[in-house]
């Protein structure tokens, strides 16, 4: 087979530039790492054909001994690049126990889906087809219903796997499915859930997204009053007027009707973590992992649950395994960073912070201005270092809600319990000396989103001194947790059930 050309290629509407390691399409322009580019070129050169895994190992690593996780990570990263740049029209299909192939959706001008094998972009606007077999067109034989189903499945996967602030990434394939089938009830329900999630987690145009979520959920429920994603979206939108027991009752009712729905089971895990009931949070997260074992979401949650339950070494081992699989996923990255930083491994945490291959742009969870002095103080708790770290964390708490949650943890870790309570009161109740008008940065950990005013982090190890303080009972009263625990007949715990 001829070696891939090093000039830009046009593949199903995407421009692939191997020299610059860029992929550009109607969804945007993405830089990719070298091995991801090599994987894309091999799949594109064999478009429509299954490329066996052993061939990909040989092509990418030669005789080097690498594990399945290395190839799985590259495929996962390439899928994300294609989803963003092609708006879901170019995908990688997994052929179980065999390999992968590249599939293209049809463009609006095509009666059938097609993809060029190798079309070279010369200096002019004309594209010349090249390669051993000329243009090498291939056709996907899906009918409209099959295509809609696959688009909805892709949207479900994107919503399942994304950090909540990036939930909007699930919308393009769902919108394409609805263009094919406007009454596709699952697409409507998932669109409602994606819009609601991004609205409440720092997504762009939150008010518009919330309005769309309401309209889509109602449309889905008119077609099927039991549609689980629409019901979950409506419950989330009503959560501000519900107490803890009402929220749990709503989620449990949904679970009875849809016991294997990943989003519902995951929501229950998050609810119990926020209420400090680790035993139940663990059970539901393990159920979510069984439903979707390839998703990063239950894995990074599992790492945090292990840490919260006192199994720090297990949490570290798991988080180390996750990073190569999802190195740019902000919450996978965040879980490992937090466990390292708060368990005495400050050098490793600093190396992560300074590594440029982590999460991109606004999705990066760490601000060096806050964390560089904090890690110094953790490693060398001199009065000067602790004072510098305290100043940095109080400044961060005034600026961003995401960093305020971190600040409360860091201050408590350094023994500054009074300052930690100031941060918590400012963040959760908008009272005290640290109330701030924080900016909105869409699609960012810095977004002034209600999700940061939830309490999952309140029960993590760094805040042990806050929970032991006499003020914690009043804090739980004000949050409504005391009443909830009394109604359930069980208070907070850090128990991980034995398997």
* Domain containing residue 174: CATH number: 1.25.40
Q: Are residues 133 and 149 in the same domain?
A: no
- The pLDDT score that the predictor gives to residue 364 is 76
Question: Alpha carbon of 39 to those of 55, 133, 233, 264, 302: distances in Å?
Answer: 11, 21, 37, 35, 30
Q: What is the mean pLDDT of residues 331-357?
A: 94
Q: What is the mean pLDDT of residues 435-458?
A: 62
The answer to whether residues 27 and 65 touch, using CB atoms and an 8 Å cutoff, is no
pLDDT of 107 higher than 60: no
Q: Does residue 306 belong to any structural domain of this protein? A: yes
Q: Are residues 334 and 470 in the same domain?
A: yes
Q: Does residue 449 belong to any structural domain of this protein? A: yes
The answer to whether residues 449 and 401 touch, using CB atoms and an 8 Å cutoff, is yes
Q: Are residues 125 and 83 in the same domain?
A: yes
Q: Are residues 230 and 305 in the same domain?
A: no
Q: Beta strand 114-115 with 138-139: parallel, antiparallel or unpaired? A: antiparallel
Q: Are residues 364 and 478 in the same domain?
A: yes
- The pLDDT score that the predictor gives to residue 169 is 87
CB within 8 Å of 97: residues ≥ 6 apart: none
Question: Tokens 């034995």 label which residue?
Answer: 498
Stronger pLDDT, 448 or 334, i.e. the higher one:
334
Please name the helix (run of DSSP H) or strand (run of DSSP E) that holds residue 286, with its range, or none: helix 278-291
Q: What is the mean pLDDT of residues 82-102?
A: 83
Q: Does residue 197 belong to any structural domain of this protein? A: yes
- The pLDDT score that the predictor gives to residue 45 is 77
Model confidence pTM above 0.85: no
Q: Are residues 156 and 119 in the same domain?
A: no
The answer to whether residues 291 and 269 touch, using CB atoms and an 8 Å cutoff, is no
Point out the least confidently predicted range of 11-15, 147-151, 353-357, 484-488: 11-15
Q: Does residue 423 belong to any structural domain of this protein? A: yes
Q: How many CA atoms lie within 13 A of 458 on its CB side?
A: 29
Q: Does residue 96 belong to any structural domain of this protein? A: yes
Note down the domain range covering 54. Answer: 9-139
Q: Does residue 261 belong to any structural domain of this protein? A: no
Q: Where are the alpha helices (DSSP H) in 200-261?
A: 206-223, 228-238, 244-257
CB within 8 Å of 299: residues ≥ 6 apart: 289, 318, 322, 332
Stronger pLDDT, 2 or 354, i.e. the higher one:
354
- The pLDDT score that the predictor gives to residue 21 is 78
Q: Does residue 276 belong to any structural domain of this protein? A: no
Question: Across the chain, what does the average pLDDT equal?
Answer: 84
Number of structural domains the chain divides into: 3
pLDDT of 371 higher than 60: yes
- The pLDDT score that the predictor gives to residue 298 is 96
CA distance 391 to 242: 37
């Amino acid at each position: 087979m001829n070696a891939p050309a090093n000039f830009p290629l046009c593949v199903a509407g995407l421009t692939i530039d191997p020299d610059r390691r860029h992929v550009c399409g109607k969804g945007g322009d993405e830089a990719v790492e070298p091995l991801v580019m090599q994987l894309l070129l091999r799949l594109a050169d064999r478009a429509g054909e299954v490329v066996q895994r052993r061939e990909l190992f040989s092509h990418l690593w030669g005789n080097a001994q690498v594990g399945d996780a290395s190839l799985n990570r590259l495929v996962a990263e390439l899928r994300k690049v294609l989803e963003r740049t092609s708006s879901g029209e170019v995908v990688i299909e997994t052929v179980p126990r065999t390999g992968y192939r590249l599939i293209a959706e049809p463009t609006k001008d095509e009666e059938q889906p097609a993809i060029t094998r190798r079309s070279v972009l010369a200096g002019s606007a004309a594209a010349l087809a090249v390669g051993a077999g000329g243009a090498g067109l291939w056709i996907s034989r899906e009918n409209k219903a099959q295509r809609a189903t696959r688009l909805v499945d892709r949207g479900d996967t994107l919503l399942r796997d994304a950090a909540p602030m990036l939930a909007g990434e699930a919308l393009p394939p769902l919108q394409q499915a609805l263009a094919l089938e406007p009454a596709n009830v699952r697409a409507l329900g998932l669109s409602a859930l994606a819009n609601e999630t991004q609205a409440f987690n720092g997504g762009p145009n939150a008010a518009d997204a919330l309005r769309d979520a309401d309209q889509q959920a109602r449309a889905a429920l008119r077609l099927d009053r039991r549609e689980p994603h629409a019901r979950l979206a409506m419950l989330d939108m009503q959560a501000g007027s519900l107490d803890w027991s009402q929220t749990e009752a709503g989620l449990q009712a949904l679970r009875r009707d849809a016991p294997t729905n990943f989003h519902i089971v995951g929501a229950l895990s998050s609810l119990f973590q926020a209420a400090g009931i680790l035993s139940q949070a663990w059970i539901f997260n393990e159920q979510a992992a069984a439903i979707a074992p390839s998703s990063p979401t239950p894995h990074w949650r599992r790492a945090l649950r292990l840490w919260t339950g006192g199994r720090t070494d297990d949490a570290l081992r798991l988080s180390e395994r996750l990073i190569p699989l999802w190195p740019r996923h902000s919450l996978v990255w965040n879980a490992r960073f937090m466990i390292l930083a708060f368990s005495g491994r400050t050098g490793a945490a600093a190396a992560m912070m300074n590594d440029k291959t982590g999460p991109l742009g606004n999705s990066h969870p760490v601000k060096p201005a806050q964390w560089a002095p904090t890690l110094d103080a953790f490693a060398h708790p001199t009065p000067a270092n602790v004072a510098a770290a305290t100043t940095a964390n109080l400044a961060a708490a005034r600026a961003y809600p995401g960093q305020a949650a971190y600040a409360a943890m860091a201050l408590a870790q350094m023994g500054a319990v009074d300052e930690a309570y100031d941060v918590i009161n400012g963040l959760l109740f908008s009272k005290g000396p640290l109330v701030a008008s924080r900016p909105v940065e869409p699609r960012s950990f810095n977004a002034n989103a209600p999700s940061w005013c939830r309490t999952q982090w309140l029960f993590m190890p760094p805040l042990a001194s806050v929970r032991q303080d006499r003020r914690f009972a009043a804090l739980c009263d004000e949050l409504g947790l005391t009443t909830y625990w009394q109604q359930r007949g069980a208070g907070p715990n850090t128990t991980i059930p034995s398997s």
